[in-house]
A and B are shown apart, each in its own frame.
Chain A
C-alpha cells in the first residue's frame, strides 16, 4: 500500500518500528522542505511576502489538523510531542487523577511527580487482556471523586485500545475531565474528537507519518488551562508590571514555532486523509494478523489479547529461549527492524516481572514482502527462539 511514496524504503528494509517513529512520505518531506527552500520567515510578525506566506501556511496547517481531528482551530495547540501536551495539562491539574497501569512514561511520570509534591492524588485503574472493566472504572469515578482521567487511546505496549468514547461519557457523568494520550491512535485509525467528546487529546506528528518534534494538543476549554510556558507569541501586550495573554491557541505556543514541522505535520494529515484512515486501519490490522500468525507459529509469547484484530497494528512478543534484545538484533541483521525493550512502559513490565518484549508495529507502508522477510528471519532462528 503506497510503499513507493516512502523514499527511505528503497533501502529494502522491513520496517516494523512505526510505533516508535513512522516513516515519511515524499509529500511530507517536500512540504517541509518548501518552508526552508521557498519562504523561510517568522509567522505572525514579519509583514514581507515570506512572512505572510509563513503565517498563512501555519494557520492553513492548523486548519488541516483541526479538521483531521474534527475540532476547531482555536482548540488546536501545536506542541513538540505528546509528552509536552500531557505536561501542559498536568501543570493545571488538581484533585484526583486516574490513569491505567499501562501508561507510557509520558502519561505516568508527570502524575507521579505531582503526587510526590502532594499537588494531586493519583489512582490506578487495572487493565487486563480485554482492556478495562467499565464497571470498575465507573465505580472508581463514583467513589473516589476523580477530577481527571488520563488514559491512552491505544497502548504502545500491546496495541490494545481503550473505549475512550464510553470512558469520556462516564467521566463527564461523574464530573471528571478526560485527557487522552492519542500517540498510538492518531494516524492509525479515525480519531473524531467531537464524537469522542474528550477534554484533552495529545498526539505526536512523528507517529503519523509527520516530522519529529511536532505534536498537537486539543483542549476543549482553553480558558480553563494555564499555559506551561510563557514568552514571545503568548502575550498580546506587556508592561513592566503585567501582561495580557493572547487568545488560544497562541497563548500556549511560546517562542518561535517549528514552521517547517507544522507544515510537514499538516501534509502528513492530508496524506493520510487522502488514503483514508479506515483503509489504513484495515491494512495495518491485516499485516498485524500475519505477524501474529508468524509469532504463534514460532512459539513466541504474545503480550495482550491473542486476537490480532484487538491489537491494531502492534504485536509484542517475548521469546522463550533468547533475550529480547538478541531477537531484536538478529532480526535487524535480516533487515527486519523491530524494537525491543520496555517501550517506556517500564512500570507495567516491572509490575509483571517481565524483561520487556520485542515489538512489531506496522503502518500503511508495510506489505507482504515485509511479512515474508520476517518469516524468513524467524525461520532461520527456529530452535533458538
Chain B
C-alpha cells in the first residue's frame, strides 16, 4: 500500500524533477499489479520499507524494528489517513470554491487555501470588531420585514446587506460587495447594523437619507467606508452627505428626531430577527453569507 502513497507523492514531485518521474512510473506499476492481486515487481515497496526502517532505526533500533514488523499495517493505516485527508481536502476545496472558506458556508475556522484569512472572520455583536465564537444558529429572512431596510438599488435579484460602518470585516467586504452591486442586476436592501460605537451615530443619518433620497445611499456608503474609522464623526458624515449632494443640514436635523430613532430601533429589531451574529451579513436570494467572501461566492448565489 505504500506504493499508492508513493505514486501520488512521486507524481507530484515528478512535475518538477525527472528523477521522480521514473519512481512514479515504478509506483504506478506497483499499484497496478497490487490492485490486480499480483506482486509488486519493481522492488519499490521493498526499497521504501527498508528506507523507512533504516530512518527509524537511526532514532531507535526498537522503533525501527517495530516499523519493519508492522510495516503492512502501518502502510494501510497511512494509506487510509492519506485517502481520508484527500477527501477532506477535496471537500475543503469545494467549500472554498463555493463559500470562500474550506470549512463551510459561514464557518470561520482556519482555511489552508486562504492562509491570510481574507475570507475568514466577522465582527461580533456587542463587541468591537473581534472575531467571536460564533453562535450555532440559523440565519434567515423568514419573518423579517425587509420593508424596514433601505432599498438603495433596484434590480432583478434581491440582496440584503446588513453592515457596520466602523467594523473591520464589513469594511474588508465592502469593495467586493460594491463591485457586486455595480456589476450584477440586483436590488440592494441595506440596513446599518452598528456593533461598533463609532458607527452608532451614523444609523439615523443613513436612515434619513435613505427615506428621502435612497439612490444617494450607495454614494454615501462609499464615502463613509473610505473614511478611516478614527475620523468618523458628524463632520465626516456631513462631508459624505455633501459628496452625494444631499442636504446635509436637513438630514442631520432629521437624524436627531424621535421618529427616526424609533424607525432605527424597529429596523434593528428586524435585523436581529435574521439571527445575525456577525457583520457583514449578506443574503443573496435568501442565502446567508457572513463575513468577507470572494466575488464568485456572491455571484454563484445568483440564478
A is bound by B: yes
Contacts of A381 in B (CB 8 A): 65
Specify which chain B residues have a CB less than 8 angstroms from the CB of A326 in the assembled complex.
46, 49-50, 68
| Contacts known (A325-B43, A384-B68); A330 close to B50, Cβ less than 8 A | yes
- CA A333 – CA B56 in complex, angstroms? 12
6 contacts between A and B (CB under 8 A): A323-B46, A326-B46, A326-B49, A329-B47, A329-B50, A383-B65
Distance in Å from the Cβ of A298 to the closest Cβ of chain B? 13
Chain B positions near chain A (C-beta within 8 angstroms): 43, 46-47, 49-50, 53-54, 57, 61, 64-65, 68-69
Report the minimum CB–CB distance from A17 to chain B (whole Å): 17
Q: Which residues of B contact A240 (CB under 8 A)?
A: none
Contacts of B64 in A (CB 8 A): 380
Contact partner of B54 (CB less than 8 A), chosen from A325, A333, A384, is A333
CB of A49 within 8 Å of the partner chain: no
Q: Give A379's nearest chain B residue, CB to CB.
A: B61
> Which residues of chain B are near A329, meaning CB under 8 Å?
46-47, 50
Query: Which A residues have a C-beta under 8 Å from some C-beta of B?
Result: 322-323, 325-326, 329-330, 333, 380-384
Closest-by-CB residue of A relative to B61 is: A380
A381–B53 Cα distance when bound, in Å, is 10
Which A residues lie within 8 Å of B68 (CB)?
A: 322, 326, 384
* Nearest CB of A to B119, in Å: 47
CA distance A315 to B24 in the complex (A): 36
Q: Which residue of B lies closest to A322 (CB)?
A: B68
CB of B50 within 8 A of CB of A384, answer no
B65 touches A333 (CB 8 A): no
Q: Are A380 and B57 in contact (CB under 8 A)?
A: yes
- Do the beta carbons of A384 and B69 come within 8 Å of each other? yes
- Are the CB atoms of A330 and B46 closer together than 8 Å? no
Tally of contacts, chain A with chain B, CB under 8 A: 25
How many Å lie between the Cα of A325 and that of B39 in the bound state? 14
Instruction: Give Cα A322 to B69, complex, Å.
Output: 9
Q: A325 to chain B: which residues have CB within 8 Å?
A: 43, 46
For the complex with contacts A322-B68, A380-B64, A383-B65, 11 further pairs of A-B residues with Cβ separation under 8 Å are A323-B46, A325-B46, A326-B46, A329-B46, A329-B50, A330-B50, A330-B54, A333-B50, A380-B61, A384-B68, A384-B69
Tell me the complex Cα distance, A323–B49, Å: 11
Docked pose: A323 CA to B47 CA in angstroms: 11
| Residues of chain B lying within 8 A (CB to CB) of residue A333 | 50, 54
State the 5 A-B residue pairs at the shortest beta-carbon distance, nearest first.
A329-B50, A333-B54, A384-B68, A325-B46, A384-B65
A329 to B43 alpha-carbon distance, docked (Å) = 11
Which residues of the partner chain A approach B65 to less than 8 Å between Cβ atoms? Answer: 381-384
Cβ of A383: which chain B residues have Cβ within 8 Å of it?
65
Measured between alpha carbons, how far is A322 from B65 in the docked complex, in Å?
Answer: 11
Q: Report how far A356 CA is from B68 CA in the complex, Å.
A: 20
Chain A residues within an 8 Å CB radius of B53: 330
Compute how far the CA of A383 lies from the CA of B66 in the bound complex, rounded to whole angstroms.
10
Q: How distant is A151 from chain B, measured CB to nearest CB, in Å?
A: 32
Residues of B contacting A382 with CB < 8 Å?
65
A382 to B62, alpha carbons, bound, how many Å?
10
B58 to chain A, nearest CB (A): 9
Which B residue sits closest to A331, measured CB to CB? B50
Compute how far the CA of A382 lies from the CA of B65 in the bound complex, rounded to whole angstroms: 8
B54 nearest in chain A by CB position: A333
Q: How far is the CA of A322 from the CA of B64 in the complex (A)?
A: 14
CB distance from A36 to the nearest CB of B (A): 32
Of B43, B49, B50, B61, the most chain A CB neighbours within 10 A belong to B50
Q: Complex formed: what's the CA distance from A330 to B50 in Å?
A: 6
Smallest CB-CB separation from B67: which chain A residue?
A: A384
Residue ID in chain A nearest B62 by CB atoms? A383
Q: How far is the CB of A47 from chain B (nearest CB, A)?
A: 50
A residues less than 8 Å from B47 (CB atoms): 329
- In the bound complex, how far is the Cα of B49 from the Cα of A384, in angstroms? 13
Query: What residues of chain B lie closer than 8 Å to A380, measured between beta carbons?
Result: 57, 61, 64
* Complex Cα gap A384–B71 (Å): 12
CA distance A326 to B44 in the complex (A): 11
Residues of A within 8 A of B54 (CB): 330, 333
Q: Give the residue name and chain of the B residue nearest to A324 (CB).
A: B46
For A384, the chain B residues whose CB sits under 8 A away are 65, 68-69
Closest-CB distance, A321 to chain B (whole angstroms): 8
In the assembly, what is the distance between CA of A383 and CA of B54, in Å? 15
Distance of B173 from chain A, by nearest CB (Å) = 56
A125→B50 CA distance, assembly (Å): 39
Complex Cα distance, B46 from A329, in Å, reads: 8
Closest to A327 in B: B50
Interchain nearest-CB distance for B39 vs A (Å): 11
Nearest chain B residue, comparing its CB with the CB of A333: B54
B41 CB to closest chain A CB (Å) equals 11
Closest to B69 in A: A384
Q: How far is B40's CA from A326's CA once the two chains are assembled, in angstroms?
A: 14
> In the complex, what distance in Å separates the CA atom of A330 from the CA atom of B61?
12
A82 and B251 CA atoms in complex are apart in Å by: 107
Q: How far, in whole Å, are A384 and B65 apart by their CA atoms in the complex?
A: 7
Q: Which residues of A contact B50 (CB under 8 A)?
A: 326, 329-330, 333
B47 to chain A, nearest CB (A): 6
CA gap between A325 and B46 in the complex, in Å: 7
User: How far in angstroms is the closest Cβ of chain B from A193?
Assistant: 40
Docked pose: A383 CA to B67 CA in angstroms: 12
In angstroms, how far is the closest chain B Cβ from the Cβ of A333?
A: 4
Cα A330 to Cα B68 in complex, Å, equals 11
Determine the distance from Cα of A380 to Cα of B68 in the docked complex, in whole angstroms. 12
Q: How far is the CA of A39 from the CA of B54 in the complex (A)?
A: 49
Give the Cβ gap from A328 to chain B, nearest Cβ, in Å: 9
- Bound complex: CA A94 to CA B69 (Å): 54
CB distance from A379 to the nearest CB of B (A): 8
Look across to chain A and name the residue whose beta carbon is closest to the beta carbon of B55: A333
CA distance A359 to B54 in the complex (A): 21
B92 to chain A, nearest CB (A): 38
**In the complex, what's the smallest C-beta–C-beta distance from B75 to chain A, in angstroms?**
14
How many whole Å from B30's CB to the nearest CB in chain A? 14
